Structure 1
């Protein structure tokens, strides 16, 4: 029999994260495009980002058609894709005089995120932002596919902090860290150290 689950954070009621999820304002709108394979993961960081930001939305699918076109056509925002690329620029502080940004964030493994771009060609035409190399993930349960790789939530927090340095977005990481601590507690400290501890390759 399945355990009762919170309808908001999708965690078991005994491990509900809602009390830790903030409601933060941002001038930047965040639109997360989540591959369906990610939506059922226990560590669904994109959902935490969408719940914690007032000006954020999570769409789940492989092709987004009219829903994506409608959001990209909104004249109130200038849209950028958060994804590496040859012409990608680093996030920089935005002034109040500039049109607010709409940050489009693909959520999935690198392979699935690239597939989202392929299946939604309009994304390929957007200017890109990417974070600098050398950042360290707090995601202690999964080896990063490459140095500097962050979870979706961490990448959003880091990007917003650079776009809007006058605001603080660290509170978005509280449920994420609690989620990881809970997973480590469930597996046991010895198992965690053996499989994920310092020096583990």
Structure 2
């Protein structure tokens, strides 16, 4: 019989993270496009991000027919937060003279699934890309990063917001994420964690 779950954070009731989830706002809009394979994953950081950031939306799927129309609405400058050959720094984007708010579009999934989202939704490929500065260190100790600088969705967006709105702190977004990681490590046991995840 499945364990009862919190309707808000979707965690088992005894591991509910709601008390740690903030309700932050930002000038920057965030649209998370989550691959369906991530929805029931125990380490679903995109859901935590969407719950903690009032200016974030979470869409789940592979093909988003309404995406082009949504992004064409006036009022925001749209950028894809994803590595690529031609990327702009977030600092340069922040200093743009237009003064128009920014919307970050963020694919969520494994690198392979995230690239699939780009392939299935060509409008994403047409967006200018932004990326985080080199040297970012992930706190996501339970997944082996496929490349240097790989961050979870919640870490990447938090770091991006800190760069785009340096007058504010978004560190509170990471509190439930940290608790989630610590809970998983505790459940697996220190020896198992050390054997499988520590160098």
Please, what TM-score do these two structures have when normalized by structure 2?
Answer: 0.95
What residue ranges of structure 1 are gaps of 5+ in the alignment?
none
Change (3 A) 1:128 1:95: closer
Q: Does 1:99 align with 2:90?
A: no
2:88 aligns to what SS in structure 1?
coil
User: Matches of 1:33 and 1:186 in 2, distance apart?
Assistant: 29
Cα offsets for 1:107-141 (capped at 9, x unmatched): 01111111101100011110010112221100011
The answer to whether the Cα contact below 8 Å between 1:94 and 1:164 also exists between their aligned partners in 2 is no
Q: Does 1:32 align with 2:32?
A: yes
User: Matches of 1:7 and 1:71 in 2, distance apart?
Assistant: 28
Q: CA RMSD in A?
A: 1.3
**How many Å apart are 1:100 and its aligned residue?**
0.1
Q: Does 1:124 align with 2:164?
A: no
**How many Å apart are 1:94 and its aligned residue?**
4.6
Q: How many residues align?
A: 197
- 1:55-66 aligned within 5 A: 55-66=55-66
Change (3 A) 1:94 1:55: farther
The aligned residue for residue 183 of structure 1 is: 184
Q: Does 1:2 align with 2:2?
A: yes
What residue ranges of structure 2 are gaps of 5+ in the alignment?
none
Cα offsets for 1:68-90 (capped at 9, x unmatched): 12320221111000011111111
Change (3 A) 1:132 1:82: same
User: Matches of 2:97 and 2:181 in 1, distance apart?
Assistant: 36
